[in-house]
Amino acid sequence: MPVKVIIPTPLRQYTGKKDSIEVEARTVAEALASLTAQYGDLRRHLYNDEGKLRSFVNIYLNDEDIRYLQKEATPLSSNDVLSIVPSIAGGKDVSYQWSMA
Amino acid sequence: MATLTESPAAKLTKDEVLRYSRHLIMPEVGMDGQLKLKQARVLCIGAGGLGSPLALYLAAAGVGKLGIVDFDTVDFTNLQRQIIHDTNDVGRPKLTSARETIADINPNVEVVGFETRLTSENALDIFKDFDIVADGTDNFPTRYLVNDACVLLGKPNVYGSIFRFEGQASIFYAKEGPCYRCLYPEPPPPGLVPSCAEGGVLGVLPGIVGCIQAVETIKLILGVGRSLIGRLLLFDAMNMKFRELKLRKNPECPACGTHPTVTKLIDYEQFCGIRGEEHVPPTKVPEVTAPEVKKMMDENKPFVLVDVREPHEFQICRIPGSILIPLGEVPKRMNELNSADDIVVHCRSGMRSAQAVEFLMKAGFRKIHNLKGGVLAWADEVDPSMPKY
């Protein structure tokens, strides 16, 4: 299934500045695997050492949080949109952003 | 015998009727609504990028009591976006500056200032006298603190946050929907090197998000419309797109779930892994100062000066004789460097270059030093004509 993955600003430095990537996948897990296969640096920002999705990053299938669907096993339909939504804290002074070396 | 007294907030003066006439002639607000605004007590955490438009519009709308928590002073670099402050306010406390601007816009607003850092010791006390809290802070520990205090006190938290060209907005109100921890149970881990090159923010962006927070606050007070409770509004300024995601209450949320474990405020710095330090300092690498480098140049000592900033920073200012290898390109371009040479690496403030030096040392470079303080130190100690940014 062709799906679009929307890349949030803090992660665009790892995707050659692209704000969305098209992938072919049948589940959320496959889509993220395809994404991290193409853009290796994304892997450690999305997943911790145990291979689990980091808890300060949420994945949405269209407008639903995948934690309330079937998590990474959630099946995809053609033209679904996956959003990676990280926690951001800028407000008063954007001095603290999460961005790993 | 009881005397009937009418509190001033129970009616509008003739002046106020005229001032708010554009509100009063709308059925969605009317006299009832305007009186609700007058009786409302809203606390703004931060009088900066988000807090500026928020406080300005709440004051203009006639919110009766505006609390502001901010211990900072106005900095020159704030003026690009913190529109409640102006050039004459540089160096003054943000609270003083904000008070004056609000008094000019609407002298009917009572401003209660808290010139203090918000902490676990004072948050509950500060929040208790307000009906709504609007979060305009800039760091994760405070966001979790504000969330937990609002959950414990049963108050709505009107949330806004920004990053460069993107913004998020929502209302976290545990009584009616999810709280911040339902969305993000944990903050990003510590040990993250703040990316100076990836920082920055489009000045007007917090203006838009702060105004969205103001609208949502006013709607909550008036009890009209559909609020952002349970919805995350995402704003992408570059593509001019608004998107909306569903937020669900997490039954296992430690703060507002069915079995909450957060029963009091904790040490949020520790929760976010910051032990009293804003940035985790990089491993100590060999350093050299700006005057020492200048001396090497003056004495014609051969060395290579590597600048690891981004190309757009190189355009702002550069140290003469430096070669640009942006930090992200160092691994693949280090073969352009000769480990037999003396190398000095610099960036803007000395943090990215320290990372680069650490990396290059691991790759076998021995005659290498970090320029302590970067171009900022160069401007301060060697060349005052160099612009700082």
Residue with tokens 């929907």: B177
> Which pLDDT tens digit goes with each residue over B180-211?
999 888 777 654 434 444 568 899 999 999 99
Q: Is the pTM of this model over 0.80?
A: yes
Are B193 and A99 inside 8 Å of each other by CB?
A: yes
Chain A residues closer than 8 Å to B355 by CB: 101
Task: Give CA B14 to chain center in angstroms.
Answer: 39
Residue-level pLDDT at B186: 79
Nearest to B364 by CA among B338, B327, B330: B338
pLDDT tier at A100 (50, 70, 90 boundaries)? very low
Chain B residues closer than 8 Å to A95 by CB: 138-139, 194, 199, 278
User: CB–CB of B353/B293 below 8 Å?
Assistant: no
Distance (Å) from the C-alpha of residue A13 to the closest C-alpha of chain B? 8
- Listed by number, the residues of chain B in 303-362 with a beta carbon closer than 8 Å to a beta carbon of chain A are 328, 355
Are A91 and B136 inside 8 Å of each other by CB?
A: yes
Are B138 and A19 inside 8 Å of each other by CB?
A: no
B11's CB contacts (< 8 A; 6+ apart) are: B35
Are A87 and B188 inside 8 Å of each other by CB?
A: yes
User: CB–CB of B76/B98 below 8 Å?
Assistant: no
> Which pLDDT tens digit goes with each residue over B292-333?
999 999 999 999 999 999 898 999 999 999 999 998 889 889
Total residues belonging to chain A? 101
Residue ranges covered by each domain of chain B: 40-271, 287-381
Distance (Å) from the C-alpha of residue B47 to the closest C-alpha of chain A? 7
CA distance B214 to B15: 23
Are A65 and B246 inside 8 Å of each other by CB?
A: yes
Tokens encoding A3: 């799906």
pLDDT at B274 over 70: no
Are A90 and B161 inside 8 Å of each other by CB?
A: yes
CA distance B92 to B86: 10
- Listed by number, the residues of chain B in 60-79 with a beta carbon closer than 8 Å to a beta carbon of chain A are 70, 72, 78
CA distance B42 to B197: 36
- Fold type of domain B40-271: Rossmann fold (3.40.50)
Q: Closest CB to A89: pick one of B161, B244, B250.
A: B161
Q: What are phi and psi of A33, to 5 degrees?
A: -65, -40
User: CB–CB of B345/B369 below 8 Å?
Assistant: yes
Chain A residues closer than 8 Å to B140 by CB: 87, 89, 96
Q: Output the CATH code of domain B287-381.
A: 3.40.250.10
Chain B residues closer than 8 Å to A91 by CB: 46, 48-51, 135-138, 160-162, 206
pLDDT at B5 over 50: no
For A79-83, what is the mean pLDDT?
A: 95
- Listed by number, the residues of chain B in 34-63 with a beta carbon closer than 8 Å to a beta carbon of chain A are 46-51
Q: Does residue B288 come out as left (phi exceeding 0), alpha (psi in the -120 to 50 range) or beta?
A: beta
> Which pLDDT tens digit goes with each residue over A7-41?
988 788 889 889 999 999 999 999 999 999 999 88
A4's CB contacts (< 8 A; 6+ apart) are: A20, A21, A22, A79, A80, A81, A82
User: CB–CB of B240/B166 below 8 Å?
Assistant: no
Is B272 in the active site? no
Residue-level pLDDT at A47: 86
Tokens encoding B159: 């949330």
In angstroms, what CA-CA distances link B134 with B33, B74, B172, B173, B384? 20, 20, 10, 11, 41
Question: What ipTM, to 2 d.p.?
Answer: 0.86
Residue-level pLDDT at A52: 86
In angstroms, what CA-CA distances link B341 with B64, B109, B337? 67, 65, 8
- Listed by number, the residues of chain B in 78-107 with a beta carbon closer than 8 Å to a beta carbon of chain A are 78
Nearest-10 crossing angle of helices B30-39, B204-222: 110
pLDDT tier at B337 (50, 70, 90 boundaries)? very high
Residue ranges covered by each domain of chain A: 2-86
Q: Find the chain A residues whose C-beta atoms sit closer than 8 A to any C-beta of B.
A: 8-10, 13, 19, 54-56, 58, 60, 63-65, 67-68, 83, 85-101
Residue-level pLDDT at A27: 96
Nearest to B323 by CA among B337, B300, B305, B349: B305
Residue-level pLDDT at B189: 63
User: CB–CB of B127/B149 below 8 Å?
Assistant: yes
B277's CB contacts (< 8 A; 6+ apart) are: none
CA distance B380 to B290: 9
Q: Closest CB to A101: pick one of B193, B232, B234.
A: B193
Strand ranges, E, within chain B: 41-45, 65-69, 110-114, 132-135, 157-163, 166-172, 231-236, 241-246, 287-288, 304-307, 322-324, 343-346, 368-371
Tokens encoding B144: 């979790």
- Across the beta sheet with B287-288, what order do the strands follow? B287-288, B368-371, B343-346, B304-307, B322-324
Are A88 and B195 inside 8 Å of each other by CB?
A: no
Chain A residues closer than 8 Å to B234 by CB: 83, 85
B176's CB contacts (< 8 A; 6+ apart) are: B229, B230
Is B317 in the active site? no
Write down the catalytic residue from B150, B179, B196, B272: B196
- Interface residue B251 vs chain A (CB under 8 A): no
Instruction: Give the mean pLDDT of chain B.
Output: 91
**A2-86: CATH, from 3.40.50.300, 3.10.20.30, 3.40.50.1100, 1.20.1090.10:** 3.10.20.30
Nearest residue in A to B143, CA atom: A89
- Three-state SS string over B253-306 comes to CCCCCCCCCCCCCCCHHHHCCCCCCCCCCCCCCCEECHHHHHHHHHCCCCCEEE
Helix ranges (H only) for chain A are 28-38, 43-46
User: CB–CB of B375/B346 below 8 Å?
Assistant: yes
For B227-255, what is the mean pLDDT?
A: 94
Residue-level pLDDT at A89: 67
CA distance B103 to B7: 21
